[in-house]
């Protein structure tokens, strides 16, 4: 029972330095950086040869090349994947500092949360554009969207536990109980399942054609 309780406490973020949360951030920071790197290489290939068949161009629905040629792929005036090359190393650095038990000041935790919220919203803006406007999906972009979802889940978990935003005791207590009862984890899992369902309902057999 002691081992089970220890695992449960780590999953719920009860270990004092929140090591499990930073481990999650490190893992997904590496995944996000890897996806951004592959997308950057594929972008260079496409620039050199517009007719190139990319490794992530699987079929008519799962096709990175098609997505890369849309205006959404350069929303800030340069390829979106370059943002990942700059941003995910920052996430990795934060995760390593957290695993080293560095005590982050309140302003740092708030900045981390707001930054991850912003880029997660951007990732989902691209996701919904891909699903309903472009109607073509980039596999590696889906990996990045999932990565940002998990980073947001971990970051929000941390800021709630630490009460970084200085919520009053009543609201903070309710949020903490929400986490302790496992509702937060269920919410995150349900959101991921919902996004998968949207993709399947939209594209159906085309995903595997």
- Which domains does the chain show, CATH number per domain? 2-208 (1.20.1440.130)
Burial pattern 116-129, b for ≥16 Cβ within 10 A else e, equals beebbebbeebbeb
- Judge contact between 127 and 143, C-beta under 8 A: no
Closest CA to 72 of 132, 150, 149: 132
Give me the pLDDT at residue 4, please: 39
Query: What is the per-residue pLDDT for 193?
Result: 97
Q: How far is CA 82 from the centre of its chain?
A: 16
- 30-40 per-position pLDDT tens digit: 999 999 999 99
Contact 86, 36 (CB under 8 A): no
Tens of pLDDT along the chain (209 residues) come to 444 344 344 444 444 447 889 999 999 999 999 999 999 999 998 888 887 788 888 999 999 999 999 999 999 999 999 999 999 999 999 999 999 998 899 999 999 999 999 999 999 999 999 999 999 999 999 999 999 999 999 999 999 999 999 999 999 999 999 999 999 999 999 999 999 999 999 999 889 87
Q: Coil, strand or helix: which one is 137?
A: strand
Of 35, 118, 126, the C-alpha closest to 81 is 35
Q: Is residue 13 a contact partner of residue 180, using CB atoms and an 8 Å limit?
A: no
């Amino acid at each position: 029972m002691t081992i089970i309780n220890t695992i449960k406490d780590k999953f719920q973020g009860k270990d004092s330095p929140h090591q499990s949360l930073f481990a999650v951030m490190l893992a997904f920071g590496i995944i996000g950086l890897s996806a951004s790197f592959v997308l950057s290489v594929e972008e260079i290939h496409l620039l050199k040869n517009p007719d190139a068949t990319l490794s992530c161009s699987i079929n008519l629905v799962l096709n990175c090349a098609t997505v890369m040629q849309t205006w959404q792929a350069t929303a800030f005036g340069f390829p979106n994947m370059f943002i990942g090359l700059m941003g995910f190393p920052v996430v990795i650095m934060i995760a390593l500092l957290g695993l080293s038990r560095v005590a982050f000041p309140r302003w740092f935790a708030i900045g981390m949360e707001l930054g991850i919220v912003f880029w997660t919203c951007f990732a989902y803006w691209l996701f919904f554009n891909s699903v309903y406007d472009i109607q073509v999906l980039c596999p590696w972009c889906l990996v990045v969207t999932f990565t940002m979802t998990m980073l947001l889940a971990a970051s929000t978990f941390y800021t709630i536990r630490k009460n970084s935003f200085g919520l009053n005791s009543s609201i903070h207590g309710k949020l903490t109980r929400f986490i302790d009862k496992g509702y937060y984890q269920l919410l995150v899992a349900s959101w991921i399942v919902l996004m998968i369902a949207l993709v399947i309902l939209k594209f159906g057999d085309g995903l595997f054609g």
